Amino acid sequence: MRKRISNKGFSLIEVIIALAIIMVVSGSIISFLLAGSRSYSSVITTTDLQKEAQLVMNQISDIVISAEKEVRYTDSTLEVINENEKYEISYVPAEKKIYYKKSVIDTMSRSFELKENVLMAENVTAFSADVIKAEGKNKIRVKMKLKNNSQSYVKEETITPRNENVVK
């Protein structure tokens, strides 16, 4: 009688080859997931910058459009003066922030009652308002640049006040 030799199980070479294949496939999947995660993070950061820039630009537009007396830009501050109020939009480069302040004019003494600064935007690396070229056209060009980590976004907008000759 012959004995049957049982070849159940895997040889050492088969196990090593299977492990190598699993490692290559797992490495590919992990690198694909990491690349997708980095891409997603980058897109989210850019989207956040765009939303913040658009929100700030909308707020500035609303203020400038309704200017009644004067709009001027000096020393990183955009000022809008109306009959009974004054708005100041100030860029502080050291903090990389834009602040908003509304002052109410006391009609009796013609003085301003100052309110505290309110934060409008963070991560701002540049802010300017071009009112020099705008005097004849009554248009103001506002530009800001926001940067967070390695992502940056530039937002430019031309704003036309309702009232003529307010740009000084």
Q: Are 127 and 141 in contact (CB under 8 A)?
A: no
Calculate the average pLDDT of the chain.
Answer: 86
Each residue's pLDDT tens digit, 98-132: 999 988 877 666 666 667 788 999 999 999 998 86
Each residue's pLDDT tens digit, 58-97: 999 999 998 888 888 988 999 998 888 889 999 999 999 9
Each residue's pLDDT tens digit, 18-54: 999 999 999 999 999 999 999 998 889 899 999 999 9
Q: How many angstroms separate the CA atoms of 154 and 112, rounded? A: 34
Place 162 in a pLDDT band, splitting at 50, 70 and 90. Answer: confident
On the 0-12 / 13-18 / 19+ scale of CB atoms within 10 A, 22 is exposed
Helix (H) or strand (E) segment spanning residue 151: strand 151-159
Closest CA to 125 of 99, 100, 154, 156: 154
Closest CA to 96 of 167, 146, 32: 146
